[in-house]
Structure 1
Amino acid sequence: MADLTEDLAGLTDAIVRPLIDEPDALDITAAETEDGNIMVEIRVAADDAGKVIGRQGRVIKSIRTLARAAASKSGKLVDVELID
């Protein structure tokens, strides 16, 4: 399942990197939790957090939807979080 976590991290990176002004500050980690699900954490510069969240949370919600769709065949649950 390490391939799936790497793929989800790459997918998230490909979506978030064009949205932000400081790509050097971008840090995305994906790991499998104890219960077998996958947690993807996004860290960006403080000024870019609003761009990743989007108006009324639409952008981060879309990122979550795409990550869950990418992992749907594996049967794993995916959670994407923006870390302050």
Structure 2
Amino acid sequence: MEELIETIVKALVDHPEEVRIEEVKTDHAITYQLSVHSEDMGKVIGKQGRIAKAIRTVINAAGTNESKKINLEIV
């Protein structure tokens, strides 16, 4: 799943070398914490959060076989 997120985000940003993804697992959920260069934050979030929502939709679709909820936080 991290590779999927990384592939999507690196295509969007100007500083792909600064894309970092950290996985945090709990009993009921898996949270991926995404950090990017400060100049790229707007590109990852998009207007009114549309790009971030689309990334989350793709991640949820790809993780349907997991029995846990999958979250994406942009920090």
TM-score, length-scaled by structure 1: 0.83
TM-score, length-scaled by structure 2: 0.92
Alignment match, 2:74: 82
- After superposition, the CA RMSD in angstroms is 1.0
Q: How does 1:5-24 map to 2 (within 5 A)?
A: 8-24=1-17
**Percentage identity across paired residues of the two chains:** 37
Q: How far apart, CA to CA, are the structure 2 residues paired with 1:76 and 1:70?
A: 12
Alignment match, 1:38: 30
Higher helix content, 1 or 2: 1
**Structure 2 alignment gaps of length 5 or more:** none
**Structure 1 alignment gaps of length 5 or more:** 1-7
Q: How many residue pairs align between the two structures?
A: 75
Q: Does residue 35 of structure 2 align to residue 60 of structure 1?
A: no
- Bigger relative contact order (CA 8 A; separation at least 6): 2
